[in-house]
Amino acid sequence: MNRLDQLTQAQGFRQKVGAILQELESHEFEPTIVSALRNSAEQAKKIKFGYSRTKHSKHLPGPDGLARAADIVDKRWGYDTKRFPDETRRFFLFLGRLALVKGLGWGGLWLGARLILRAKLTKFLRDSPPPFQAGNWQDKIGWDAGHIEKL
DSSP 75-130: TTTTT-TTTSHHHHHHHHHHHHHHHHHTT-EEGGG--TT-HHHHHHHHHHHHHSPS
Task: State pTM to two decimals.
Answer: 0.87
21 alpha-carbon distance from chain centroid: 11
- pLDDT of 113 reads 59
**pLDDT tens string for the chain (151 positions)?**
689 999 999 999 999 999 999 999 999 999 999 999 999 999 999 999 988 888 999 999 999 999 999 999 999 999 898 898 888 988 998 999 999 989 999 988 876 656 677 788 888 887 877 666 656 666 677 778 888 889 8
b/e burial code for range 85-116 (CB count within 10 A of at least 16 → b): eebbbbbbbbbbbbbbebebbbbbbbbeeeee
DSSP string, 7-42: B--GGGHHHHHHHHHHHHHHTT--EEEEE----HHH
